[in-house]
């Protein structure tokens, strides 16, 4: 796969008002293109790498902004190319004006193109590229730490070590196949088999951490399910510590599902309050219940809420569509009956 080697630019900070905004330029013309609109003590082309200089961005006689320009010469930059980062005042209008000036000579970067260049220039491998995306999206302590470790190369090191072990094992197997009649001192068949099993186990362990990584990234999805009026929305509100869902004594209050996120011990938890699973009274409710089924199927854990009344039918229905191990039974409204009356648990 090839990539374009022209010079690209883009605003790297989100739109809106802030202390600063950053415009990033990368490619062979990065320094000369910025020099064209930048007035500092000295032109950027005279500076060595990793310097930050103060100056003005100008459009002919008009001063657009006072800025700092950071210069990173190839290969010692994020992309591995010449990079200039212009830090201007954090105003979308100003940042756009500077970008427009650069776009007279350069091309607007596509989403992720700076990181793509870092990959093609061997500054990052694929696991690290993924980590950059995760780092930008991380919303909790745990997901932040996982992304940071991956960016530092932890996953890359594990995969490389496993690949080396697989290659060594393959060579030993090939030796055994090619020269079976020779009593090869190097290959002990039991040891080969043991190595093979160990690698298999380590691969399974690594695959498991992948599933955990998805949960860290996207959050653990927990869905509240149960018959009408058992208190699903009340529990949802308790988790959130807010009156997010409408709670009434009327059965069938929640018609569409609600989703909110909380952070629990550093983990991102996505909680869904559903319309529950029951016979629909009308079309709106039918649609809400259909969505509930989709959410139930995609959840990691299902809190099956009951108020102590007979609920075997709902539980059976639920077990038809999800792995029973995902279901956690929750008894609500325990204030309304004594322990001896509880048949559910």
Ligand X SMILES: Nc1nc2c(ncn2[C@@H]2O[C@H](COP(=O)(O)OP(=O)(O)OP(=O)(O)O)[C@@H](O)[C@H]2O)c(=O)[nH]1
What is the C-alpha separation between 317 and 300, in angstroms, rounded? 18
The yes or no reply on residue 284 touching ligand X (CB under 6 A) is no
Cα–Cα distance measured from residue 54 to residue 35, given in angstroms and rounded to the nearest whole number: 13
Question: Under rule CB under 6 A, which residues in 315-334 are in contact with ligand X?
Answer: 332-333
Binding at 288: pick from ligand X, Mg ion, none (beta carbon under 5-8 Å per type)? none
Asked if 292 touches ligand X (CB under 6 A), the answer is no
Sole binder of ligand X in the list 111, 180, 210, 249 (CB under 6 A): 249
Burial tier of 5 (Cβ tally within 10 Å: 0-12, 13-18, 19+): exposed
Measured from the CB atom, the residue of 157 and 290 that comes closer to ligand X is 290
Stretch that binds ligand X, among 106-114, 133-141, 161-169, 251-259 (CB under 6 A): 251-259
* 234 interacts with ligand X by CB under 6 A: yes
Regarding 336 and contact with ligand X (CB under 6 A), the answer is yes
* Residue 55: contacted member of ligand X, Mg ion, none (CB under 5 to 8 Å, by partner type): none
DSSP helix/strand/coil, 121: coil
Q: Tell me the torsion sign for CA atoms 26, 42, 36, 70.
A: positive
233 forms part of the interface with Mg ion (CB under 5 A): yes
Task: Give the residue with the Cβ less far from ligand X, 21 or 295.
Answer: 295
Find the binding residues for ligand X in span 3-42 (CB under 6 A): none
Cis status, amide bond into 75, omega within 30 of 0: yes
Which residues are within 8 A (CB) of 127 and not within 5 positions of it... i.e. 6 or more apart? 150, 153, 155, 156, 159
Query: Residue 264 in 3-state DSSP?
Result: strand
* Contacting positions for ligand X (CB under 6 A): 226, 228-234, 247-249, 251-254, 276, 332-333, 335-336
Binding site for Mg ion (CB under 5 A): 232-233, 253-254
């Amino acid at each position: 796969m090839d990539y374009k080697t022209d010079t690209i630019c883009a605003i790297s900070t989100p739109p809106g008002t802030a202390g600063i905004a950053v415009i990033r330029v990368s490619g062979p013309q990065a320094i000369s293109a910025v020099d064209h609109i930048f007035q500092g003590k000295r032109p950027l082309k005279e500076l060595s790498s990793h310097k930050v200089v103060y100056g003005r961005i100008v459009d002919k006689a008009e001063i657009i902004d006072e800025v700092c320009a950071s210069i990173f010469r190839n290969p010692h930059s994020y992309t591995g190319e010449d990079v200039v980062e212009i830090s201007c005042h954090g105003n979308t209008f100003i940042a756009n004006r500077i970008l427009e000036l650069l776009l007279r000579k350069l091309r607007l970067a596509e989403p992720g193109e700076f990181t793509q260049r870092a990959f093609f220039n061997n500054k990052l491998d694929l696991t690290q590229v993924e980590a950059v995306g995760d780092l930008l999206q991380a919303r909790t302590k745990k997901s932040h730490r996982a992304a940071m470790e991956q960016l530092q190369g932890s996953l890359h090191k594990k995969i490389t070590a496993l690949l080396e072990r697989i290659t060594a094992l393959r060579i030993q197997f090939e030796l055994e196949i090619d020269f079976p009649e020779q009593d090869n001192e190097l290959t002990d068949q039991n040891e080969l088999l043991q190595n093979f099993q160990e690698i298999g186990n380590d691969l399974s362990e690594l695959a498991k951490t992948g599933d955990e990584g998805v949960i860290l990234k996207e959050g653990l999805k927990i869905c509240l399910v149960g018959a009408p009026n058992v208190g699903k929305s009340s529990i949802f509100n308790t988790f959130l510590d807010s009156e997010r869902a409408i709670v009434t004594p009327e059965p069938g209050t929640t018609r569409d599902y609600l989703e909110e996120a909380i952070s629990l011990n550093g983990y991102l938890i996505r909680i869904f309050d559903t319309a529950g699973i029951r016979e629909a009274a009308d079309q709106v409710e039918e649609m809400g219940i259909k969505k509930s089924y989709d959410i139930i199927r995609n959840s990691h854990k299902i809190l099956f809420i009951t108020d102590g009344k007979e609920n075997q039918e709902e539980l059976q229905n639920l077990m038809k569509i999800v792995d029973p191990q995902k279901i956690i039974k929750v008894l609500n409204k325990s204030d309304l009956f004594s322990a001896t009356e509880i048949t559910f648990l």
